[in-house]
Chains A and B, each alone.
Chain A
């Protein structure tokens, strides 16, 4: 279903967004439109405000100015259409619970207060685990998962939210090549199904292969648009300064340096 998906309203519209922690601005007056059915990367150096951008879209941080609309509405109203994958390191993986239970948490939003997940929810959770090839791990204690498995579980949890818009904070962080391929296949499937997917991403080399839309961020927005148009040397240099070495002016994969993943809050 694509309810308010008129051609004019973007999936996500960020207007004049400024976020500051105390008096330190993390995002300065950002305008950003994310169209429907794109797979978008948010890239930028450490401390560029990428995580903050995702959190502002989810209304998890209070902006100093500006607003975000998702599917033409405030987040409070579009909440049920938004799936979220936080950074893997943001939770305690020694928490006493198992994989299926974590995936079921994705259903809590649809359930609302007090109501418990039922058989139908379990079925959805198991289907999502099937999609990320983790069905055999449903009963596994979460502390026994590898980094890649943790990331798959988080992805499955977002899938059961059955959203229109997915916001993911570093879904590829600390995963092996197999998992990375598995995840990107699922993300591309989501896009094919008409969903909008936004990922904080660190590996500049894979941007042209994985994504069709990109936003370059460094506290302010440097550029955003189709990868083919805006993912170029000039914008990368503007975003990263001298910190990225470039192979050639018009290479499809212009950047060689991979900035290490950061953990902003």
Chain B
């Protein structure tokens, strides 16, 4: 069916590895209500990368990653420093810090790196299609595209981080106070997480660029959050959604003959909207159906209570008739007919001519409702 070249497979592999690495860390950013910090970090590490690039003149040097991680941590500290003055709120502090650092990076590139390999479009948008051309060889053996090697190492580090320190991450995210009281420094956990986000972001630059990496960090976890209420499952689902986004995005780009990074980011949006609509419990449709069912249940209970109150009394002749529900319960005849049918289907009443009689199940329903 598809005749895949090794280049195509490699591109998709890089996309998958990047997406999963981002999605795992994103879970904790989203749960810590720090999703926008990823936006800040991915932008503000630019000057770190540029400066490191000037020093080593090699875009795939591990030194760039270290410099990026340091700049990411610097960003987080600056935001917290501003925030702690109580003069600037956190969201505004993010809005001050990252454009400042990012613009320094932009100026550095424009002024000093105009003609060379480090070009702004690549940093901002990435170009995953070029990934197979830049390869890593050790002792003459081709290990694969450099981006794939680098991102795989980063992915392994991220997986180890969230599995080894799963318990600590969970506690520090849910209850930082208890974490500190029990001796699990939330500050160390916080900065470790932020450093890894920075490292992952710089690794992901090649593939998706600085802007779209945010979509991969935030999109899959937010969708996973709609689908589950278990943290470990949220991590698994988030990673799975990352894989889906990467592969679907690649083929969407092929189909549209468009940017792969752009298509991947688009897919995060599409999958999020699908989750938002169809999630089994929290989705819009599930909520609407639940509301509807509750409306019928409530009306059915109300009817049962009404019938129970008049059951066996002389007034039952008048009250417990379907054509009188309009007067007594304020229901128009169509709605009354619907409710009576619903109640019949659920076995809580029977109808003889227009008279309504509770079944034992119906009486039970009414009594339980009153007691509660």
Contacts and interface: CB of A to CB of B under 8 A. Distances in A.
Given A86-B175, A105-B175, A113-B168, A96 B180 contact: no
Given A96-B31, A114-B164, A109 B177 contact: no
A34 interface: no
A102 interface: yes
Contacts of B182: 79, 108-109
User: Which of B164, B173, B180, B229 has the most chain A CB within a 10 Å cutoff?
Assistant: B229
Given A96-B231, A97-B230, A98-B230, A79 B174 contact: no
Contact of B225 (A84, A96, A141, A157): A96
A91 B173 CA distance: 9
A96 B229 contact: yes
B181 A95 contact: no
A82 B184 CA distance: 15
A97 B181 contact: no
B165 A95 contact: no
B174 A108 contact: no
Contacts of A116: 166-167
A105 B182 CA distance: 10
A248 interface: no
Given A96-B230, A114-B164, A114-B165, A105 B178 contact: yes
B281 to A, nearest CB: 10
Interface in B255-307: none
Contacts of A111: 167
B175 A91 contact: yes
Contacts of B180: 58-60
Contacts of B86: 22
Contacts of A115: 167
Contacts of B231: 95-97
Contacts of A251: none
Interface in A76-90: 76, 79, 82, 84, 86, 90
Contact of A82 (B33, B168, B181, B230): B181
B174 A90 contact: no
A260 B180 CA distance: 28
B164 A97 contact: no
Nearest to A111: B167
A108 B31 contact: no
A82 B233 CA distance: 32
Contacts of B164: 114
Contacts of A86: 175, 177-178
Contacts of A96: 31, 225, 228-231, 233-234
A84 B177 contact: yes
Contacts of B167: 108, 111, 114-117
A62 to B, nearest CB: 12
B181 A91 contact: no
A111 B180 CA distance: 15
A92 interface: yes
Contacts of B140: none
A82 B178 CA distance: 11
A115 B168 CA distance: 10
B71 to A, nearest CB: 28
Contacts of A59: 180-181
A108 B169 CA distance: 12
Contact of B174 (A58, A102, A109, A114): A102
B171 A105 contact: yes
A116 B166 CA distance: 9
Contact of B171 (A92, A108, A141): A108
Contacts of B171: 105, 108
Contacts of B230: 96-98
Given A95-B31, A96-B31, A96-B228, A105 B177 contact: no
A143 interface: yes
Contact of A109 (B183, B233, B234): B183
Interface centre among B33, B165, B182 (most CB of A within 10 A): B182
Nearest to B165: A114
A250 B352 CA distance: 71
Contacts of B184: 108, 113
Contacts of A157: 178
Interface in A82-133: 82, 84, 86, 90-92, 95-98, 101-102, 105, 108-109, 111, 113-117
Nearest to B84: A22
Contacts of A98: 229-230
Contacts of B178: 84, 86, 105, 157
B174 A97 contact: yes
Contacts of A97: 170, 174, 229-231
Contact of A105 (B165, B174, B225, B229): B174
Contacts of A109: 181-183
**7 closest A-B pairs by CB:** A109-B182, A141-B229, A96-B229, A58-B181, A84-B181, A86-B177, A91-B175
18 contacts: A58-B181, A59-B180, A60-B177, A79-B181, A79-B183, A84-B177, A86-B177, A91-B174, A92-B31, A92-B174, A95-B173, A95-B231, A98-B230, A108-B182, A109-B183, A114-B164, A114-B167, A143-B229
Interface of B: 31, 33, 86, 164-168, 170-171, 173-175, 177-178, 180-184, 225, 228-231, 233-234
Given A102-B174, A114-B165, 17 more contacts: A59-B181, A79-B182, A84-B177, A86-B178, A92-B33, A95-B231, A96-B233, A97-B174, A97-B231, A98-B230, A105-B170, A105-B174, A108-B184, A109-B182, A109-B183, A113-B184, A117-B167
